[in-house]
Amino acid sequence: MRRVRLKFVGGLEIEFVDRDKAIEQINEIAERGTYPVYVVYGPEGCGKTALFKQAREILEEHNYNVIYANPLAEDREELLDYTPAIRDLVREVLRSFPDPYSRIIDAAINIASQVVKRMRKPRVAVLMDDVFQAVGLDNAEKYVKTLLNLIEHPPGDYENIVVIVSSSEGITRKRIGRHSWATLRILWNMSRKGFRELYDKLPGTKPRFRDAWRATGGNPRYLGLLYRANWDTESLVKDIVESKDLEELVKGLNPLETRILQESLEDPDTLFEKYPETKTLIDKLVERNLVIRLWDRNEWLWIDTPPPEKDPGLGIGRHYAWQTPLHREAVRKALETLHGQGTSP
C-alpha cells in the first residue's frame, strides 16, 4: 500500500505515518462495505482528514470509485476529489448544479448515485469530511439519512458501497448516536510510537520528545502548531482560550460547576456522574470541543487504537478525557484569570 503525502505546517510535506490498526480496519471495510453509515469522530486535529486521504488510497487499491468531499477545505481542489476514472461523470454532474462548489455535499451524493446508476455493479466509496460543521447539526441527521438511503435503496446494483463521514463536533454522538442510521467510531490522538515517528520527521531544533508528547497528548495538529510557534506552549494556550471564548464559559458557571471544573483538571472522571450538576457542565465542555466522552475501550468502538484506560498526565480518564493537555491548560488558564490561582470562587 502506498502511503499518501500530506501537507503539514510551514509548507512541510509528510508521509502518512503509523495508524496500522486503522489501515487494517479500512482494508476490512473495503472487503465488506459499510452498513449503516460510519461516522468517525475524535479530537480536533487528531488526524481524521489525514486518515480519509489514506483511506481513499486504500479503497482505490481495492478498485473502488472514491468520491471525497470536504466542504470546509480552503482550496477549491480540496473541496472535491475523486478517482480519475469517473472524471467525465463528475464533470457532467457538476454542470447540472448552478454553483456546485457551494453545495458540494449534495453534488458528491449525486455523483455517487450516478456512479451506482450508470456503471456495471461498481464499487463506490463516499468519504465526507467535516460535514456536520458545514451543514449545521440540525441538518446532520438528514444528511446521514440520505447517505443511508444510498446504501439501502440504491438507484442501481452495486458490488459494494462504503460511506464514511467524519466529524469533530462534540455533540455528534448525542445527535447521531441515537439513530440506527449510523454507527459511531472514535479516532483518538496518535499513539506514542506513531507520534514519535511524526516528531522525528520535523526538521530543525525541537524540544525533548517527552515534552512535545506531554503538551499535545499525541495530537498531530497541535504538534504542527507548536512547531510553527517555535514551541511556545504559552502562546498556543492563549490562542485556545481566545478562540474558544473560555473566559466567557468560566464566567457563566455557578460556584459548584466551577469547583467541579477545577477538580476535573486533575481528573476528568470527576465529570462522570459525580454530581447531578455535572450534566449541563459536561454539555458545555463537549460542545466547545474541550472534553470527549470515551465510553469504554471496546474494540468495536474505535478506529485505530484507543487511548489507555487512564493517563492522568494527559488528562485521560476512564469515561472522559480532555481532547489534548493543551485544551486542559487553556481551561486552567481561564479559571486562573477569573478566580485566581488555586483559590476557590
Ligand X SMILES: Nc1ncnc2c1ncn2[C@@H]1O[C@H](COP(=O)(O)OP(=O)(O)O)[C@@H](O)[C@H]1O
185: left (phi over 0), alpha (psi -120 to 50) or beta: beta
- Residue 8 interacts with, from ligand X, Mg ion, none (CB under 5-8 Å by kind): ligand X
Least Å distance, CB 44 to Mg ion, is 8
Least Å distance, CB 23 to ligand X, is 10
Q: Which residue is nearest to Mg ion (CB)?
A: 49
φ, ψ for residue 62, nearest 5 deg: -95, 20
Pick from 26, 37, 47, 237: which binds ligand X (CB under 6 A)?
Answer: 47
* Residue 44 binding ligand X, by CB under 6 A: yes
Least Å distance, CB 32 to ligand X, is 24
Query: What 3-state DSSP class applies to 291?
Result: strand
Give the footprint of ligand X on residues 162-221 (CB under 6 A). Answer: 168, 198, 220-221
- Residue 226 interacts with, from ligand X, Mg ion, none (CB under 5-8 Å by kind): none
Give the footprint of ligand X on residues 224-243 (CB under 6 A). Answer: 224
User: In angstroms, how far is CA 182 from the centroid of its own chain?
Assistant: 16
CB 310 within 8 A of CB 316: yes
Cβ atoms within 10 Å of 152's Cβ, excluding its own: 12
* Residue 49 binding Mg ion, by CB under 5 A: yes
Q: Where are the alpha helices (DSSP H) in the chain?
A: 20-32, 48-61, 76-79, 87-95, 104-118, 131-135, 137-152, 172-176, 192-201, 209-216, 220-228, 233-243, 246-251, 255-266, 278-287, 325-339
Least Å distance, CB 70 to Mg ion, is 7
Q: Which of 160, 163, 181 is CA-nearest to residue 172?
A: 181
Least Å distance, CB 109 to ligand X, is 21
Give the footprint of ligand X on residues 93-152 (CB under 6 A). Answer: none
Query: What 3-state DSSP class applies to 131?
Result: helix
Pick from 23, 48, 213, 315: which binds ligand X (CB under 6 A)?
Answer: 48
Kindly determine how many residues on this chain lie close enough to bind ligand X according to the rule CB under 6 A. 20
Least Å distance, CB 226 to ligand X, is 12
C-alpha 86/C-alpha 98 separation (Å) is 20
- Residue 221 interacts with, from Mg ion, ligand X, none (CB under 5-8 Å by kind): ligand X
| Residue whose CB is less far from ligand X, 114 or 324 | 324
| Residue whose CB is less far from ligand X, 17 or 131 | 17
Least Å distance, CB 99 to ligand X, is 26
CB 327 within 8 A of CB 278: no
User: In angstroms, how far is CA 323 from the centroid of its own chain?
Assistant: 11
User: In angstroms, how far is CA 326 from the centroid of its own chain?
Assistant: 17
Least Å distance, CB 82 to ligand X, is 19
Strand partners, 185: 40
Q: Which of 233, 210, 256 is CA-nearest to residue 328?
A: 233
C-alpha 307/C-alpha 267 separation (Å) is 15
* Residue 18 binding ligand X, by CB under 6 A: yes
Least Å distance, CB 133 to Mg ion, is 9
Kindly determine how many residues on this chain lie close enough to bind Mg ion according to the rule CB under 5 A. 2
| Residue whose CB is less far from Mg ion, 49 or 324 | 49
Pick from 45, 71, 170, 306: which binds ligand X (CB under 6 A)?
Answer: 45
Judged by CB under 6 A, the stretch of 11-19, 145-153, 177-185, 317-325 that binds ligand X is 11-19
Instruction: Give the H/E segment covering residue 14.
Output: strand 13-15
In terms of Cβ atoms closer than 10 Å to its own Cβ (0-12, 13-18, 19+), residue 131 is buried
| Residue whose CB is less far from ligand X, 111 or 186 | 186
- Please report, as ranges, the residues that interact with Mg ion according to CB under 5 A: 48-49
Q: Which residues bind ligand X (CB under 6 A)?
A: 6-8, 14, 16-19, 44-50, 168, 198, 220-221, 224
